[in-house]
Structure formats: structure tokens, C-alpha cells
Amino acid sequence: MKLLLVEDNHSLNKDIQEYLIENGFTVETAFNLLEASEKLSVYKYDALIIDIGLPDGSGLELIKQAKKDKINSAILILTAKDKLEDKLEGLNLGADDYMTKPFHKAELNARLRSILRRNLFDRDNKIAAGEIEIDLITAEVKIKSKDIILTKKEFDLLLYFIHNKNRVLTKESIAEHLWGDHADQSDNFDFIYNHIKNLRKKITNAGGKNYITAMYGMGYKFTIK
């Protein structure tokens, strides 16, 4: 997942960037509105983290640019504690969520992953695929109304499969989605097989169908007829 972090406080910018990289994201940074606008016009990002109070203008202008250019990145805005009007305007412009400074980085990570999951499915909070029901807010997964417990990687893998249902996904694309730039540090993709095997087993043990098919020499396909 590739992010653009727009924050003019250099210390906070670096702190957030390092934390998100440790949690598997690819993070580019900008320190002002002009720099952020230029990057947004050239590169594609899965999510934008935008500080409203920038030295050369309001971060709200970046949201307007994104919507005008039909950029479908998830958007999380950062605001000062006493700026309620900025929060409301940001949400009205199309931001998915906001956080008030100061905040805990763990909460930032959780909220970011939540809006990214919703953004994959046109911002719906609940999705269904065959017998599988998923609540994207609570991260609960049910098979025929029965709860199944997935690890974080299994949950992300399931969402990626459902988002790309009936398409062949290469091992490389799965690894890049789950591990970002860290994926190319592995000599092979045996870990992909193990995650898929465990996910398939949990689904079928709960009474679900075997949706995941290995395509020899190509990758995997999640099939829903």
C-alpha cells in the first residue's frame, strides 16, 4: 500500500513515516501544499494523510484537487483540536476520516487500514462473497453466520482475493499487496502458499466452499460463480 503523508512538522512527519513503514506501508512525504499537489498530479496513492494546517495553504485544497481529478485514494485528515469547522469541511469534501492532534500512532494505523479496506469496496462497511460475510469496521468474518478467526495477514489476503474475484493473481502481486516493498527481500514465495493453505482450511472447516484455486505456473484465483 502506497501512501502520501502531507505534514509540515518535520519531526512528526519523520516519526509517522517510520512507524508506517515498519507496519508494511510504502510512504512518500510532502511538507507543504505545493509539493503535495505536484506529487498527487504525477503519482498514484492508495491513501492520503493530510494535515489541514500547511504553511502555504489549507490541506483542504488537496482534497478538492483529488476529487476534481477523480482520484480515488482514501483520505485521512489531521486537524488541530479546536478546528471543528475544518473537520466538517474535510468530511463534506470527501475525506473518509479525521484524527485530532495529538494522537497515538497505533490508532492512526488502525483507522488508516479501516478506510483502506472500505475504499476497496466503494466505501461499503459490510460485504458478502458467496457464503462469506465480512464486517470491515469490526474485521469480523462469518461463514454461514458462524464466526471464523483469521490472522491479520489472512484477513487482508481474503479481502484482496474478494476484491479481485474471478481473476488470476500472481504470487508476486499477492506478496506485494501483503508486504509492500519488503516482499522482494524473500528468496521464494512459500510463505504465500502457507497463508493461502491456512485461509482455505479455515473457510472449508467452517462449512464454506473451496473458493481458492491454484493456477499452475500462474498464481491463484478466488472463484465465485
Task: Convert the pLDDT of each residue in 105-154 to its tens digit.
Answer: 999 988 898 888 777 766 667 888 889 999 887 889 999 889 999 998 89
How far, in Å, CA of 72 to CA of 85, rounded? 24
How far, in Å, CA of 31 to CA of 115, rounded? 23
0.85 exceeded by pTM:
no
Distances (CA, A) of 105 to 17, 84, 97, 132: 10, 21, 15, 31
197-225 confidence digits (pLDDT tens): 999 999 999 999 999 999 988 899 999 87
Amino acid identity of residue 199, one-letter, is: L
Could you give all domains of the chain from N- to C-terminal order, each with its CATH number? 2-119 (3.40.50.2300), 126-222 (1.10.10.10)
Q: Which of 47, 70, 54 is nearest to 13 (CA)?
A: 54
